[in-house]
Amino acid sequence: MTTPAPDPVKNPLRDSTFLRACRGETTDHVPLWFMRQAGRSLPEYRAVREGTAMLESCFKPDMVVEITMQPVRRYGVDAAIFFSDIVVPLKAIGVDLDIVAGTGPVVADPIRSREQLEQLRPVEDSDVEPITQAVKALVGELGSTPLIGFAGAPFTLASYLVEGGPSKDHLATKRLMYSDPDLWHDLAGRLAVIAGGFLRQQVLAGASAIQLFDSWTGALSLADYQEFVAPHSAAALAAVEDLDVPRIHFGVGTGELLGAMGDVGADVVGVDWRVPLDEAVKRIAPGKAVQGNLDPAFLFTPEEVYTRRAAQIIEAGRAANGHVFNLGHGVPPSTDPDALKRLTDFVHGYERV
Ligand code: CP3
């Protein structure tokens, strides 16, 4: 059961630079935000998190509000990304998992059989009270800066659940997918309901945009993506289709999948650094915006090196129907925050002629 949209469904920040760019409308600068802008690269984040486990912090509204605000205050980015994690809705419905510092999500009983799917029930509003409370508080705090809600896409969530933790080759996940397609589709279908429901809960609490992270789906061929993943990602994105929010869809190493990832219902397609934006546009159906795509490695180069590359990216982004500047993946924890501040100022000040 999905909660009906309030009436009238109108996003109060729809004229912000970020939301205009997501819809392909003209803006006076290229808006930007950074994936993983809230996190270990910020000393103020490390100070707030001191003594609190990652997952515990995601269920403390005051902490979520403070950590989400930190990069907005420091950099003046055009959007805030909600401080949470892709495994938070799974934790909220009782899946036995943890986030281990320096490793990532670790699942106690990796999924191997149909009986284990029972636990993957839809997320009820009462499961995520602290999250929706944090979204509501943030919307007030952020004022004119839009908040991006997010969820992990079915393939990426399934990878953690099946592997039991981070994986480079996703072997166990692919083995399950290829050898027991019925079990795979049941698993991915349930994860689509969880992800879609969680996105909807964030939007109804006040988030202005959503991003569906399919970080690891670049491990698949286009044909397998279409057969095993696309229908489920489409279902997750369809859960917020009736709401006035742009839907961003991102994965790493997805050059071969960009068109297909747009076709599952994205308004904005996230691009990593491997494909230039003007080439990405040719691979994506017309009318969609793009987001990206500075290689995070540039944050460790002299200012003239990363600003030169940022300028090339802005120029390439002109080929798109809307461009949101971002990194090609998350901010590395060892990044100097001053580099992100200078990059923000450079992108905001870039002359559009
Ligand atoms: O600014 C933001 O983006 C903050 C919100 C955010 C986090 N995780 C916080 C976090 C978001 C959007 C995510 C998404 C996420 N989580 C993804 C998709 C994005 C991507 O990077 O591809 C994935 C695959 C995860 C799973 C996950 N959680 C990983 C790989 C890690 C890092 C492990 C490590 O310690 O290096 C986490 C933990 C995590 N999520 C941290 C943060 C700030 C670090 C934990 C800490 O501070 O102790």
pLDDT, tens digit (0-9, with 9 covering 90-100), for 21-68 = 999 999 999 999 999 999 999 999 999 999 999 999 999 999 999 999
Residue 351's pLDDT is what?
A: 82
- The answer as to whether 1 is a domain residue is no
Which alpha helices (H) appear in 23-167, and where do they start and end? 43-49, 54-58, 61-75, 88-92, 129-142, 154-163
Q: Are the CB atoms for 331 and 296 separated by under 8 Å?
A: yes
Q: Residue 323 is inside which H or E element, if any?
A: strand 323-327
- Rounded to whole angstroms, the Cα distance separating 252 from 217 reads 7
* Cβ of residue 208 lying under 6 Å from some atom of ligand 1: no
Atom of ligand 1 minimally distant from the CA of 104: 33
Indicate which residue's Cα is closest to atom 41 of ligand 1: 39
Res 327 pLDDT > 60:
yes
- Does 7 score more than 60 pLDDT? no
Q: Is 150 in the pocket of ligand 1 (CB under 6 A)?
A: yes
Q: How far is CA 293 from CA 35, 171, 211, 325, in A?
A: 11, 28, 15, 7
Q: Within a domain: residue 3?
A: no
Does residue 12 lie in a domain region? no
The pLDDT value recorded for residue 352 is 66
Mutual orientation of helices 154-163 and 181-204 as an angle, nearest 10°? 120
Q: Domain count of the chain?
A: 1
For the chain, give the percent of residues with pLDDT over 90. Answer: 95
Name the residue range of residue 64's domain.
17-349
The tens digit of pLDDT for each residue in 125-184 reads 999 999 999 999 999 999 999 999 999 999 999 999 999 999 999 999 999 999 999 999
The answer to whether residue 155 is domain-embedded is yes
pLDDT in the model for residue 10: 74
Answer yes or no: is 8 within a domain: no
Residue 3's pLDDT band (boundaries 50, 70, 90)? low
Our answer to whether residue 318 is catalytic in this structure is no
CATH number at residue 41: 3.20.20.210
Cβ of 18 below 6 Å from ligand 1: no
| Ligand 1 near 37 CB (within 6 A) | yes
- On whether residue 10 sits in a domain, the answer given is no
Tell me whether residue 4 is in a domain: no
Q: Which of 85, 273, 293 to mutate to test the pocket of ligand 1 (most atoms within 8 A of CB)?
A: 85
> Is the shortest distance between the CB of 102 and ligand 1 below 6 Å?
yes
* Within a domain: 46: yes
Could you tell which of 32, 36, 202 is best to mutate to test the pocket of ligand 1, judged by most ligand atoms within 8 Å of the CB?
36
pLDDT tens-digit readout, 223-238? 999 999 999 999 999 9
**224 catalytically annotated:** no
